[in-house]
Amino acid sequence: MPDAVDEPARRSRDSVVREVAAVAAQAAILRDVLVDWACGCGMPAELVQDLKLAAYEAMANVVEHAYPDGTVGTMTVAAHRESGAITVTISDSGRWRDGDSRPLGGRGVPIIRAVAPEAGITSTPTGTTVRMRWPWRPA
C-alpha cells in the first residue's frame, strides 16, 4: 500500500487521491498535503484552515473508530476542485459503531459540521464516507 508522501507528480491541479494505512502518522501527512493543494487551488486562507480541521477530524475518526483494536485498515482521502468549490471525502472500509464513546473523544463530527458548509456521513456495513464541501468564488 502506498504511503501519503506527497509527490507532485501524483497530484493534479484539480484533485488529490490517496489510499493509505489508517494510522495517525498518515493522517498528519495527508492533512498537510490537502492544505498545500487547497492553497494551490486559490482557496482563501480562512477556508483552508476550516478544510484542514474538518479533514483531519474525519481522518482521526477513521484511525480511532473504524477498525477493531489492533487492526490496521485503510482510508482513502480524495479532494476535488470543481467550479467554485472544493469537495473532500474521507472513506474507510471499517464499521460505524453507534454509541462508541471514548473518554477523550466525541467532538469530531460536530466540529466537521461546524466548519464545513456542507457535510454528510454515509455508513454501510462495508464502510463509512464523510463528504465535505466548501463553496467559494475564486478571485
Q: Per residue in 73-114, pLDDT tens?
A: 999 999 999 888 999 999 999 986 655 555 555 788 999 999
Burial-class residue 78 by CB neighbours within 10 Å (0-12, 13-18, 19+).
middle
pLDDT of residue 139: 66
pLDDT of residue 124 exceeding 50, the answer is yes
Tell me what pLDDT residue 40 has.
93
- DSSP label of 108: H
* C-alpha span between 93 and 44 (Å, rounded): 32
User: Per residue in 19-51, pLDDT tens?
Assistant: 999 999 999 999 999 999 999 999 999 999 999
Of 4-13, 26-35, 54-63, least confident by mean pLDDT is: 4-13
CATH of domain 8-135: 3.30.565.10
Longest dimension (CA), the chain: 47
For 3, 13, 26, 93, the CA distances from 21, given in Å and listed in that order, are 7, 24, 7, 11
Residue-level pLDDT at 9: 44
DSSP string computed for 23-53: SHHHHHHHHHHHHHHHHHTT--HHHHHHHHH
Question: Alpha helix (H) ranges present in 6-132?
Answer: 24-40, 45-61, 108-115
Asked whether residue 5 carries a pLDDT value surpassing 60, the answer given is no
Q: Strand order of the sheet with strand 127-135?
A: 15-21, 74-82, 85-92, 127-135, 118-124
Q: 83-119: string of b/e by CB count within 10 Å (b at 16+)?
A: eebbbbbbbbbbbbeeeeeeeeeeebeebbbebbeeb
pTM of the model: 0.86
